[in-house]
Amino acid sequence: MWWTIKKIKLMKEAGCFYLSFGFESNSEHVLEAINKKATPEHNKKACELCAKYNIYINSAFLFGIPGERAQDLQDTIDFVRAYNVHFTGVNIMMPLPGSAFYYDFVKQGIIRPSIDEWYTISSLSTTNKIYNDVLPKEQYDEYITKFYRTIKYRSKYFNLTANWRKRLKYCWSKSTVSNHG
C-alpha cells in the first residue's frame, strides 16, 4: 500500500488534514471481483492510521457489482460505521466502455456496443440499472438507504465542526493580518 505510518505522519506534519481513499467496498468477495489489490484489512489499517493522526477520511463506495451479496453490502456499511469515514457516498457500478465488466457484458449479450447503450449506462442517464443477478434493485435501494442513515448524523456533526473550524481559522488569520499589517 502507498500509505505507511511514516508517510501518514509526515503528511500530518506538513499540514494534511484530509485524505481520499478508493476503498470501493469492505468485502473481500467484492474487492476480488473488481480486481482491487487492497483488502478489508488494508482499509481498516488506513482508517486506524488516519484516526491516530487526526486526519479526516473520504471514500466513495461501489454497489451493484455482479455477484455481490447482501452480506457484502452489510460488510461495507459496518465498516463505514465502525471506522468513521467522514465524507462518503454510494455509486452504482456501471459497465462503462473500456472496463472489464463492459467487455464481459457485451460477450454475454447483456449490453450491446452502441452509442445508445453507452448513454443508457453512463452517468448522464438516470436509469440506475443494477447489473447484479443475485440481488434485486429493491434490496439495493434498502441497503443504500441503510448506508445513508449510517452516515446521516455523523455528517451533520462533522459539517458543524468543520464550519466552526473554518470560521475560527478565518478569524485567526484576519487578526494576524491586522496585527502585522
Residue 26 and residue 43: Cα distance in Å, rounded? Answer: 7
pLDDT above 90 coverage of the chain, percent: 56
Looking at residue 29, its pLDDT comes to 96
HEC per residue, 81-95: HHHCCCEEEEEECCC
- Grid cell locating 51: 484516526
Helices (H), the chain: 5-13, 28-33, 40-52, 70-83, 100-108, 115-121, 137-180
Q: Can you tell me which residue has the cell 470560521?
A: 167
Model pTM greater than 0.95? no
Banded model confidence at residue 179, pLDDT cuts 50, 70, 90: very low
- Spatial separation of the C-alpha atoms in residues 86 and 118, rounded to whole Å: 33
Q: pLDDT at residue 158 above 60?
A: no
Domains and CATH numbers, the chain: 15-134+142-151 (3.30.750.200)
